[in-house]
Amino acid sequence: MMVGKKVPNFELEVYDPQKGGFGKVSLQDMRGKWVVLFFYPADFTFVCPTELADLAEKYQELQELGVEVISVSTDTKYAHLAWHRSEKLLEKVRFPMGADPTGRVSRLFGIYDEENGLALRGTFIINPEGVLVGSEVNFYNVGRNAEELLRKMKANVYLMHHPEEACPAKWTEGKKTLKPSEELVGKVYQALS
């Protein structure tokens, strides 16, 4: 998947910690919402529970922005349930945990490792129209920061309502944005001062 392209519909079985049971999610069912797909290599590993715990800390703020989060690995929904019950770091995880045991969805996003059957650490932001607007991929041994994901989501939501603007590096709510034009060329410093 390339940023700027429409994401085809997909469906995942999930373990839903809020409901305490299994279900299914599809991109089609989430149209009209922002969607964050948060791929990780495997349940019962080492960096993965730290990432999901970090993401769980920001989940409510993400939901308040109109974002649904789905964590995804190539494990089964049964493994997700067992891991959620046994790993103390996951006790605050409330977002659906997607099962991609065939790697179909991981392949769609280009992060499936054919040699070991795992997904790389990929974060994908899909806007309410189903267009991929953000993509980040890390190797197995580097965890992500949910604070930065929240910052990016706030910027994306802001820009959806202000398409004539752009958010500079480290932009946070209330900070200056840029309005690209011929007057701004070579004058970004002045515009941000």
pLDDT digit string, tens, across residues 80-127: 999 999 999 999 999 999 999 999 999 999 999 999 999 999 999 999
Q: Is 9 helix (H, G, I), strand (E, B) or coil?
A: coil
Residue 121 CA: distances (Å) to CA of 48, 71, 153, 168: 9, 10, 18, 25
Mean pLDDT of the chain: 97
pLDDT in the model for residue 13: 98
**Number of other residues whose CB lies within 10 A of the CB of residue 109:** 22
Flag whether the pTM goes above 0.85.
yes
Query: Domain residues of the chain, as ranges?
Result: 11-161, 164-193
Q: Is 147 helix (H, G, I), strand (E, B) or coil?
A: helix
Nearest to 6 by CA among 35, 44, 38, 39: 35
Backbone angles phi, psi at 153, to 5 degrees: -65, -40
Interatomic CA distance for residues 51 and 133, integer angstroms: 21
Residue with tokens 């065939």: 102
Percent of the chain clearing pLDDT 70 (strictly above): 100
Interatomic CA distance for residues 91 and 103, integer angstroms: 26
Which burial class, exposed, middle or buried, applies to 97 when counting CB atoms under 10 A from its CB (0-12, 13-18, 19+)?
A: buried
Would you say how long the chain is, in residues?
193
Backbone angles phi, psi at 131, to 5 degrees: -95, 135
Stretch 56-61: mean pLDDT, rounded? 98
pLDDT in the model for residue 52: 98
Active site residues: 48
Task: Given CATH 3.30.230.10, say whether it is the number of domain 11-161.
Answer: no
**pLDDT tens column, 147-163:** 999 999 999 999 999 99
